[in-house]
Amino acid sequence: MDDMAAVYAALAQASADGTEAALATVIATQGSMPRHAGSKMLVYSDGRIVGTVGGGAMEARVIAAAREVIHSGSARTETFVLNSLDDGDPGVCGGSAQIFIEPVQTAPQLIVVGGGHVGQALAELGKWMGFYVVLTDDRPEFATPQLVPGLNRYIVCAGHELPQRIALGRTSYVCAVTRGLPVDLGLIPALLATDAAYIGLIGSRRRWALTRKALLEQGVSEAQLQRVRSPIGLEIGAETPREIAISILAEIVQVRRGGDGQPMRWDPSLEQGAAGT
């Protein structure tokens, strides 16, 4: 597979499986440059690359800029100059390249930890809503296509191992609908070590109080625990697994889109107040 074909294949895979990455494209060059306009390189959040925009110190700077783009989510165009032997450039010819760096558009990840009744309903609803859905559990029979068909990925592992099995970043929404404290004590610290956009834990306020106390005792900070949303979901009086799944996905949409969760019904008093001014 040639360079460009490899980049396009990796780009398609990253977009399909929700992997954070940025695409760097040479859009213009001046002087003597190792790569021409149109050359592309895919950069992952950990610095791995597919393809090249020229190698050497310039490429290292492009990789650093691409990782910043992944973190910010905003595309940008930068000019890089090859003119310093001290910086590792291949020559002092004064060549330059203008490179457009853009984040790869991916479906947001919905990571459902726990394949019980609520987890199953949540995974089904998340898939319908267009998320890249991962169902994971430490019990093999609770993370299978037979239990919930048609999901993107099934992972059998202990909670604390999850970040080692799948990259969790700014577009990852993790719902811990687990069976209790022993699972949560390993899972939550592992999730807090990632850049996941949303970490929610199912259970009553009492369960969260006990979990929180135990996590503080094992060294998790108060500031870190502020990232955890528990009890999970919006208060809509949900009772059934599907209703609970709706309340959880509603909160995730609120976080993604910046909503306030308030009713959108028309309030005539606002009109009256405006008329009286």
Structure tokens at 223: 């500031």
Confidence (pLDDT) at 264: 84
Q: Which residue has the higher pLDDT, 208 or 2?
A: 208
Read off the pLDDT of residues 90-129 as tens digits, 9 standing for 90 and up: 444 568 889 999 999 888 999 999 999 999 999 999 999 9
Please give the Cα distance from 1 to 51 (Å, whole number).
11
Where residue 210 falls among pLDDT bands split at 50, 70, 90?
very high
Structure tokens at 21: 């990455």
Read off the pLDDT of residues 11-53 as tens digits, 9 standing for 90 and up: 998 887 778 899 999 999 888 777 889 999 999 989 999 999 9
Q: Which residue has the higher pLDDT, 9 or 261?
A: 9
Please name the helix (run of DSSP H) or strand (run of DSSP E) that holds residue 269, with its range, or none.
helix 268-276
Residue type, 137: D
Where residue 275 falls among pLDDT bands split at 50, 70, 90?
low
Mean pLDDT across the chain: 90
Confidence (pLDDT) at 273: 56
Cα angle: 125, vertex 130, 136; to 5 degrees: 60
Phi, then psi, of 57 in degrees rounded to 5:
-65, -35
Read off the pLDDT of residues 185-194 as tens digits, 9 standing for 90 and up: 999 999 999 9
Where residue 174 falls among pLDDT bands split at 50, 70, 90?
very high
Tell me if 201 sits within 8 A of 176, measured CB to CB: yes
Read off the pLDDT of residues 220-259 as tens digits, 9 standing for 90 and up: 999 999 999 999 999 999 999 999 999 999 999 999 999 9
Structure tokens at 154: 């099934």
Sheet with 40-44, side-by-side order of all strands? 49-51, 40-44, 21-30, 95-103, 76-82
Average pLDDT rounded to a whole number, residues 125-146: 97
Structure tokens at 85: 């032997």
**pTM, rounded to two decimals:** 0.78
Please give the Cα distance from 45 to 243 (Å, whole number).
36
Structure tokens at 109: 């990840």
Structure tokens at 258: 């910046």
Answer yes or no: CATH 3.40.50.720 is held by domain 109-257. yes
Taking the domains of the chain in order of start, what are their residue ranges?
3-103, 109-257
* Alpha carbon 25 to its chain's center: 23
Structure tokens at 112: 């459902």
Q: What sign results for the dihedral spanned by CA atoms 226, 122, 187, 14? A: negative
Residue 7 clears pLDDT 60, i.e. is over it: yes
